[in-house]
Amino acid sequence: MDNLHEECGVFGIYDLDGADVARTIYYGLFALQHRGQESAGIAVSDTNGPKGKVDSYKDMGLVNEAFVGDSLDKLKGNLGVGHVRYSTAGESTRENAQPLVINYVKGILGLAHNGNLINANELREELSQTGAIFQTTIDTETIAYLIARERLNCNSVEEAVGLVTKKIKGAYSLVVMSPRKLIGARDPFGFKPLCLGKRDNAYIFASETCALDTIGAEFIRDVRPGEIVTITKDGEIISDTSHCLDEKKEARCIFEHIYFSRPDSYIDGISVYEARLKAGRFLAMDSPVEADLVVGVPESGNAAAMGYAQESGIPYGTAFVKNTYVGRTFIKPKQSARESSVRVKLNVLRQAVKGKRIIMIDDSIVRGTTSDRIVNMLKEAGAKEVHVRISSPPFLWPCYFGTDIPVREQLIAYNRSIEDIRKIIGADSLAYLEINRLDEMVNHQGICKGCFTGEYPLEPPKEDIRGEFEA
């Protein structure tokens, strides 16, 4: 499928009453499954047991595929971290699944990471020169080694995390467990989300608020961009904001609101659902067209389609039936087969579109290989016209911060006009969200627009570090 993918989802919990947390992490990861379907893992520690003992398990596939049989029952501990992964850097292998657990002279570290470092190769080389032996090809191992080394020369693990954040550059939300502490940290630009919650006498870090809702936890607040939050064994919440930037420099990934996050989540106080409704309304204001029905491409196009319908007065309807049992990792049919990967996932309701002029809302067009098939499916089902509206601006630049937007030459909008793209995908008209509308979508919070403008909040690497996303 020609969709974007996120890097990962992270979850951490510290139950101060000593109850086992593995099953809670499991359900938290279920809620974050949309952020990564390649692998899942959990690591737990008993803070009242032998110091340095960690039980962990991770495997490839969805959460319910990775944890089968009695794998959860073997994970005993009241402090733990979990992870679901989609790889934007590093191979998709079991070795690269997270969380990572390392034993060192000060005890143990369990680490789960969402994001992408732009100086990972440089730091990895530096560590290798001083004797580090790497078992994976992911940024997370570099971060773990750095924290372990800094901890040898400072008073606490949270201080070590703070020292490491001065060395690493790029996007990261981290959850770190040490023998008696749980730490959440977010990069100074706030690329990736991270929030703090509480259930009874347990504290939780999660990539999205929907994970807190799933386990019945209360949302406390978002971790600020640049903030390091530590939960101690006494239930104390220690906040270090010395690494925070001026709010004007913050650069959240706008695709959390456009596509990545679940619509029932809130990111830094902004409802994802409301942001998508706004995008649809803006499209109706800026790019109106006469039609009979507004439909969304499931799932992220649905709320924007509803916003378009509300603003335009054109009825909102359902045109697609989605096969909910097909994840992003399903085995694709061979090229010789008549079935396309799009048809396996989506089917058109002929009765809903036949003889009608359709406005189809989608969140993005990357390479264009999916959009043309969906437009064709609507027309084969009898739609008289198909007008495509995209709830983001055109992609013109790659992303280096944890989103798999490829090199420019692979982007359909690169060196093509909107009219060129319209012809390629077979639409009767095509319009994108105006770039100035992005700030309005999120109430003028600091966001990153690098994939649209080529102006990044950090100087990008001189060579593409993303492996499979190179040309």
Please list the active-site residues: 8
Cα distance between residue 225 and residue 153, in whole Å: 26
**Contact in structure between 119 and 12 (CB atoms under 8 Å):** no
Nearest to 98 by CA among 90, 53, 228: 90
For 255, counting Cβ atoms within 10 Å of its Cβ (0-12 exposed, 13-18 middle, 19+ buried), the class is: buried
Cα distance between residue 309 and residue 212, in whole Å: 31
H/E element, 110: strand 107-117
**Contact in structure between 279 and 307 (CB atoms under 8 Å):** yes
Return the CA Rg of the chain. 22
Residue 420 phi/psi, 5-degree rounding, is -60, -45
Cα distance between residue 220 and residue 454, in whole Å: 35
Instruction: Scan for tokens 């090199």, then name that residue.
Output: 407
